[in-house]
Amino acid sequence: MPPHAHALEHHRLAGIGWLRAGVLGANDGIVSTSSLIVGVAAAHATHANIVLTGVAGLVAGAMSMATGEYVSVHSQADSEAAALDQERAELAVDYAGESRELTDIYVRRGLDPKLAARVAEQLMAHDALGSHARDELGLSVTLRARPVQAALASAVSFAAGALLPLAVAALAPARYLIPATVTVTLAALLGLGALSASAGGANAWKGALRVAFWSALAMAVTAAVGALFGRIGI
Ligand SMILES: [Zn+2]
């Protein structure tokens, strides 16, 4: 494999990671907002209230996704920073011991001890913390935790997903609102499910049907609860 291919592979993997996070976020947005809309519509709410519910669901969902993602990725960033600080301190206190540790890692990976020691020595001379971060802690610059980007990405993908059933609810005539929302939602989820599965190298059809089945179930349960509340007149 040509030398730059590894960098391309790294970027492709990072890209797939972002794609899948985006698809999952959009999935959440579509499923939760369409279920909300179908549930409130089944309770015979007015058209204005149905659309309002959709808007509230979009904003609340996007904010909660962003908050959850920010908090979880930030705690990952915190533990990465703490591990790097500890590594920096160990290097300052026991450089020779750290060099032996790195040598052992390369020997376990298959290098003969002499070569491993030379590789460790040269890499540490070039960038001691970087080589330990990469080869001992498994931290890579391309996959570093970025809480703000992750929070923004999940809020945007959720909102983008939620916009679809919301647009259908806003535009569809009242008596076609539920079937139109369900049809458009399931079609979009089939497409996203296939995209996400094939991006990860899995069977597109299986991925699509799995997402569509569980989403249809979520909408059906919410519609049933909505119809029940509508009947008892709450
Ligand atoms: Zn170390």
pLDDT of residue 201: 80
Q: How far apart are the CA of 87 and the centre of ligand 1, in A?
A: 6
Assign 234 a pLDDT band (cuts: 50, 70, 90).
low
Q: How far apart are the CA of 15 and the centre of ligand 1, in A?
A: 29
Mean pLDDT confidence for 61-77: 93
Q: How far apart are the CA of 143 and the centre of ligand 1, in A?
A: 19
Mean pLDDT confidence for 184-211: 88
| Confidence (pTM) | 0.78
Assign 9 a pLDDT band (cuts: 50, 70, 90).
low
CB atoms within 10 A of CB 118: 13
- Report the C-alpha gap between 158 and 64 in whole angstroms: 10
Q: How far apart are the CA of 138 and the centre of ligand 1, in A?
A: 11
List pLDDT tens digits, range 115-155: 999 999 999 999 999 999 999 998 876 666 788 888 999 99
| Residues in CB range of 177: below 8 A, 6 or more apart | 37, 41, 47, 50, 168, 169
Which tokens in the block code for residue 88?
A: 């920096």
